[in-house]
């Protein structure tokens, strides 16, 4: 299944919208996109996963690496709309307590 990525700004947030399935094959595309935004100076990044139907451990590795990179630069990554199997994967690995989670884009705080 193809992975769809798009981005937009919402207030002071940069939102990366992801749709499709994230695995060993597709997650490097997300990593490259997020890393480039961090390196370009984005510090409030929301990754909208509400249309992601599958997520595996390689995706967790990508997300954690991006989060570390962002926090080293004083920013943060919020995962938005995680639900279903991807949320179960986050919870089983305890990473739901590591990431800032928001149920929807409307729930993002003002920054």
Instruction: Assess 23 for contact with another protein (CB under 8 A).
Output: yes
Q: How far is CA 18 from the centre of its chain?
A: 8
Q: Do the beta carbons of residue 1 and residue 38 sit within 8 Å?
A: no
Instruction: Assess 85 for contact with another protein (CB under 8 A).
Output: yes
Select the span of 8-16, 23-31, 42-50, 101-109 touching another protein (CB under 8 A): 23-31
Q: Which of 39, 37, 30 is nearest to 62 (CA)?
A: 30
User: Which residues would be at the binding site for another protein (CB under 8 A)?
Assistant: 1, 21, 23-25, 54, 56-58, 60-61, 64-65, 68, 84-85, 88-89, 92-95
């Amino acid at each position: 299944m193809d992975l769809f990525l798009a981005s937009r700004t919402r207030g002071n947030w940069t939102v990366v919208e992801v749709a499709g399935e994230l695995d060993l094959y597709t997650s490097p595309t997300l990593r490259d996109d997020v890393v480039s935004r961090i390196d370009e100076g984005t510090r409030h990044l929301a990754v909208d996963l509400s249309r992601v139907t599958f997520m595996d451990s390689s995706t967790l590795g990508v997300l954690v690496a991006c989060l570390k990179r962002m926090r080293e630069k004083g920013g943060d990554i919020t995962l938005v709309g995680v639900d279903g199997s991807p949320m179960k994967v986050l919870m089983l690995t305890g990473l739901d307590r590591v990431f800032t989670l928001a149920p929807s884009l409307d729930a993002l705080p003002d920054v």
